[in-house]
Amino acid sequence: MQTITAATLKAWINDGQELAVLDAREDGEFGRSHLFWANPCGLSKAEIRARQILPRLSVRICCVDAGEGALAEKLAAVLKGIGCTDVHLLEGGNKAWAEAGFVLFSGVNVPSKAFGEWVEHEYHTPSVDPEELKAMMDAGTDMVVLDSRPMDEFHRMSIPTATDVPGGELLYRIGDLVPDPATTIVVNCAGRTRSIMGAESLRAAGVPNKVVALRNGTMGWELAGFSCDRGSNASYPRGVPGSLATALERASAFAGKHGVKTLAPAGLPALLADKSRTTHVLDVRDPEEYRAGHLAGSRSAPGGQLVQGTDTWVAVRHARLVLVCDTGVRSRMSAGWLRQLGGWEVHVLEGGLEGAALAHGMPPAECPEAQHIHADPIPPAAVAAALESHTAVAVVDLARSVDFRAGHIPGAIWGVRTRLAKLLPALQDKALVVVAAPDLTLAKLAVPELQALLPKAQVRPLAGGMATWKADGLPLEADKRNPADADCIDFYLRPYDRNDGIEDAMREYLSWEIDLVHEVARDGDARFGQG
């Protein structure tokens, strides 16, 4: 296996050529300490995730871990197994990186969150603190509060009177939502980034209203002693807004100012056929719209989330990004920000959905390894019956730890696919072990691995995954402390995901976010605002 030094990797990050830095640890471990431009590619889902974030398998790749070496080597082997041809290891991992005098970062979506702080400083985004907002509410100020997060986060907790309008939808819909230029617009999220980016999207695109971000979002609101609403579903009206023409004019000016390229539909096949470059095709519409019809081969990447967490979808620095929507508004706004975040050639596909043969639903994960595993799925009803009759059966659930806490099959055991040996004491006397997962692909990958550990048991995946179990109305149980916070290696817990010390965690998080700009300057690898 080819190894490179920290100095070599530092040079690669800054040489302007395509590069993917992939961290082999699980997301929770990654969040504790990682390189600025690293992307999480945890071994438990590496066969699936690597194909999603590496459209061109011949791209230059460096695998890293904390310094133990074994995890990075395993990831490199997986990547070579799926066809990657230019794979390297960082000698000594993160430990060697730090010893070379380079900066390591905690947290997740760090480039995007640091960019949000840069935007606030560069554009002088105005904000109000929670006490000011509460006073405005009490005074009956002509105002609206717009929450720029996805509905699942908004539903969990929201500012009183707020309406959910995810960041990618804000400029697209603001003309219908707030037709009076005298109305003050307050944009919030849970913390800082999406509040800043949402407010500045409206300001930078020329919306005439007074627009401000809520300083520190719902966390700041609760730390100030105010209560959030729970369970709200207030959302924007669906469909193409009546103010489309104005939104498109504003978005086009914003994108043009920042060097966004437009691409005719006929030009996309040529980009995809170019084996010397990586091209990510990302649909920035609402996921509901994506499911209703999208370009085959595109990934759903809602615009506000794409800008706030770019490393979720894009691993390759200096790749081409082609953004798709139906009207050109949402793609142009997202593209303008991604150009400023820096490091990609960004295109907007003009009229890309018009007259095209569209695919429907969310595409299944591409994973030939799972397709070649012969495992007989067991119907949810049969599992429920076995559990009810106290048969020697166990369910191993491979969901994210936070999702397992929220609802799982009664009695199920949570686990991480590549660390299943830890579960042996609870499984050794079982005649049947059922593998549940968010989708059948991940469950099937675990079947032979569990079977090797339990040669006397029958191991079968749950047919249809947990989505089918829930759709069938079968029982669920929830336990916020199972697994414990310290065991959630697969997910970087947000302050409000924790069981204890939530307020301290909020304060720590907000301080961390504000300080990111200083750490990024010390690191020196970001090129914000330089296209």
Residue 174 identity (one-letter amino acid): I
For residue 531, pLDDT over 80 is answered with no
DSSP 40: E
pLDDT tens digits for 117-129?
Answer: 999 999 999 999 9
The reported pLDDT for the residue numbered 61 is: 98
pLDDT for 376 = 94
Angle between helices 502-523 and 110-123 (to 10 degrees): 80
| pLDDT band at 325; cut points 50, 70, 90 | very high
Residue 261 confidence (pLDDT): 94
Q: Domain residue spans in the chain?
A: 2-106, 114-243, 249-359, 368-483
Superfamily (CATH H level) for 2-106: Rhodanese-like domain (3.40.250.10)
pLDDT, mean of residues 354-375: 91
The CATH homologous superfamily of the domain defined by 368-483:
Rhodanese-like domain (3.40.250.10)
Query: Tens digits of per-residue pLDDT, 93-144?
Result: 999 999 999 999 999 999 999 999 999 999 999 999 999 999 999 999 999 9
Q: How confident is the model at residue 352 (pLDDT cuts 50, 70, 90)?
A: confident
Q: What percent of the chain has pLDDT over 90?
A: 95
Q: Name which of 31-35, 386-390, 484-488 the model is least confident about.
A: 386-390
Supply the pLDDT for residue 356. 87
The 3-class SS string of 326-384 reads CCCHHHHHHHHHHHHHCCCEEEEECCCCCCCCEECCCCCCCCHHHHCCCCCCECHHHHH
CATH superfamily of 114-243: Rhodanese-like domain (3.40.250.10)
The closest alpha carbon to 20, from 67, 59, 47, 66, belongs to: 59
CA distance 172 to 241: 7
Predicted confidence (pLDDT) per residue in 55-66, tens digit: 999 999 999 999
Q: Which residues contact 117 (CB under 8 A, 6 or more apart)?
A: 192, 193, 196, 513, 514, 516, 517
Summarize the confidence of residues 34-48 as an average pLDDT. 97
Q: CA 174, 529, 274 angle in degrees (round to 5)? A: 95
* CB atoms near residue 176 (< 10 Å): 17
| Dist CA 362 CA 439 (whole Å) | 12
pLDDT of residue 137: 98
pLDDT tens sequence across 258-275? 999 999 999 999 999 999
Query: Per residue in 418-431, pLDDT tens?
Result: 999 999 999 999 99
pLDDT range class, residue 342, cuts 50, 70, 90: confident
How large is the average pLDDT for residues 18-31? 97
Nearest to 525 by CA among 94, 98, 36, 30: 36
Q: What is the DSSP string of 394-416?
A: EEEE-S-HHHHHH-B-TT-EE--
- What secondary structure does DSSP assign to 191-233, as a single string? SSHHHHHHHHHHHHTT--S-EEEETTHHHHHHHTTPPPBSS--
Tens of pLDDT along 148-177?
999 999 999 999 999 999 999 999 999 999
* DSSP letter (8 states) at residue 283: E
pLDDT of residue 530: 82
Q: What rounded mean pLDDT belongs to the chain?
A: 96
Q: What is the mean pLDDT of residues 228-239?
A: 97
Choices 3.40.630.30, 2.40.37.10, 3.40.250.10, 1.10.10.10: CATH for 249-359: 3.40.250.10
Is the per-residue pLDDT at 355 higher than 90? no
pLDDT in tens, 194-218: 999 999 999 999 999 999 999 999 9
Reported as a single tens digit per residue, the pLDDT across 84-93 is 999 999 999 9
Tokens linked to 457: 């048991």
| 20 Cβ contact list (under 8 Å, min separation 6) | 39, 53, 54, 59, 60, 61, 62, 315, 316, 317
* DSSP state letter for 66: S
Report how far residue 104's alpha carbon sits from residue 111's, in angstroms, rounded to the nearest whole number.
Answer: 12
Residue 326, token pair as written in the block: 């139906």
Please state the length of the chain. Answer: 531
Fold match, 2-106 / 114-243? yes
Beta-bridge partner residues of 266: none
461, β-bridge pairs: 435
User: Is the pLDDT score of 1 beyond 90?
Assistant: no
